[in-house]
Amino acid sequence: MAQDAPSAATGAGAGQPGANPFRPGFGVSPRVLAGRDELLEEFDTALDEGPGSPLRSVLVSGARGMGKTVILNELEEAARVRGWLVVRLPESGDLVEELASTTLPALLAEHDSERAVRRRVTGAGIAGVGSLSTTARERYEVRETAATLLARLLDVLAGHGTGLLFTLDELQAVDREAVSAFASLYQHLVRDERDVALAAAGLPVGVGQLLQHRGTTFLRRAERVQLGPLRTEEVTDAARRTVEGAGGVIAEDALDVLADVVHGYPYLLQLAGYRAWRDAAGGPITADHVRATRGVVSERMGRLVHGPALLDLPQAQRAYLMAMAQDDGASSTGEVAARLGLTAQHANVFRTRLIERELIAPAGHGRVDYSLPYLRDHLRRQAATG
């Protein structure tokens, strides 16, 4: 995506600094995607391989800000470039009912040329679904089941050699019954070897719990992808390309500091990059500009990521996390148990739960450490303010 270099590189007083190319917001795709190539390549292959490829059903889990929504956007794009249709399942309400009453009739009205109205709808596509629904409803009786409508739509798509990708974000918050009804619908399509794919994303604990539910057995067989931190080179490479793509300059040592501040965390790459770009005010971004972002990075991470993640945390697990915050690095599990006045066995229960929640991780024999950057800072701030 080539862009005209903004006139900013000349520094303060030389008119408008270029528009900031970093995007520190949840659900906002970055200008330059860091890493994640393996997952995207696998999905591409799965789409090309045809029905039956196990990688066509992907379940992505990861902490807030790890890039789940961005990945779903990328997977949607991969499907679209192949001419596939994409249906974003709603995060609330009855998924199957919504498909049957609105989404599928609208898609059929648009794509089923045998029956479709000879009317081109402006801005059609998924975004146009709302406005299409009235017309579509008149022509397709609402009571046709989602399964029938899907079969028809997939027949039409098969005629073009394409298929249908369903995406579902914030899976942990979706009603279980709704997920299981959808899972059963989807499972039948897979068994019938239809050209369908599914990409869902959610927070680790919520997704884990959802998969315990009987109706979602099928989803357990989906490819589980745990989005982890980006590698250092992925961070520095994406940061450099983001800056340079917008006509800016970033020093080598500034990139090293950035990698340090970011800890492989995608949201922080955008946040630290954004602040450093802004502070550089059109000049080259230096290591000092990046270093100066640390305070904001830590504070935002606490407020937007750790705060929400700890909200529903049982008191005993919170106490365990707090006890770890006394250490500057990895904690000895024995010492943490002692601080809490618990037996090793008892403390181990909380340790295990926290590992499942991906809040802490084993760090060598008998040691654990936080798995998210700046969690220690956040907990210490909380301890200080009561």
Ligand X SMILES: Nc1ncnc2c1ncn2[C@@H]1O[C@H](COP(=O)(O)OP(=O)(O)O)[C@@H](O)[C@H]1O
Residues that bind Mg ion (CB under 5 A): 68-69
What CA–CA distance (Å, rounded) separates 377 from 299? 8
Residues in a beta bridge with 197: 165
Does 207 help bind ligand X (rule: CB under 6 A)? no
Nearer to Mg ion, 68 or 376 (CB): 68
**What are the angstrom distances between the C-alpha of 99 and each of 92, 124, 129?**
13, 17, 11
Does 174 help bind ligand X (rule: CB under 6 A)? no
Does 266 help bind ligand X (rule: CB under 6 A)? yes
Q: Which does 67 bind (CB under 5 to 8 A by kind): Mg ion, ligand X, none?
A: ligand X
Nearer to ligand X, 267 or 374 (CB): 267
Q: Which two tokens stand for residue 212?
A: 């315990």
Residue choice 100, 269, 287, 301 for contact with ligand X (CB under 6 A): 269
Amino acid identity, position 72 = L
Nearer to ligand X, 69 or 216 (CB): 69
Does 21 help bind ligand X (rule: CB under 6 A)? no
Q: Please give the DSSP secondary-structure letter assigned to residue 337.
A: H
**What are the angstrom distances between the C-alpha of 331 and each of 278, 283, 334, 338, 375?**
37, 42, 9, 12, 14
Does 39 help bind ligand X (rule: CB under 6 A)? no
Amino acid identity, position 87 = V
Nearer to ligand X, 18 or 67 (CB): 67
Q: Which does 357 bind (CB under 5 to 8 A by kind): ligand X, Mg ion, none?
A: none
Nearer to ligand X, 107 or 269 (CB): 269
What CA–CA distance (Å, rounded) separates 378 from 362? 20
Shortest separation between residue 26's beta carbon and Mg ion, angstroms: 6
- One symbol per residue from 231 to 250: x for binding ligand X (CB under 6 A), - otherwise; what is it? -------x------------
Does 84 help bind ligand X (rule: CB under 6 A)? no
Nearer to Mg ion, 167 or 242 (CB): 167
Of all helices (H) and strands (E), which one includes residue 128? none
- One symbol per residue from 181 to 200: x for binding ligand X (CB under 6 A), - otherwise; what is it? --------------------
Q: Which stretch binds ligand X (CB under 6 A): 185-193, 243-251, 267-275, 320-328?
A: 267-275
Amino acid identity, position 188 = H
Q: Please give the DSSP secondary-structure letter assigned to residue 113.
A: T
What CA–CA distance (Å, rounded) separates 70 from 127? 18
What CA–CA distance (Å, rounded) separates 279 from 277? 6
Does 275 help bind ligand X (rule: CB under 6 A)? no
SS3 content of the chain, % helix, strand, coil (to 5): 55, 10, 35
Residue numbers of the site for ligand X (CB under 6 A)?
Answer: 23-30, 33-36, 62, 64-70, 238, 266-267, 269-270
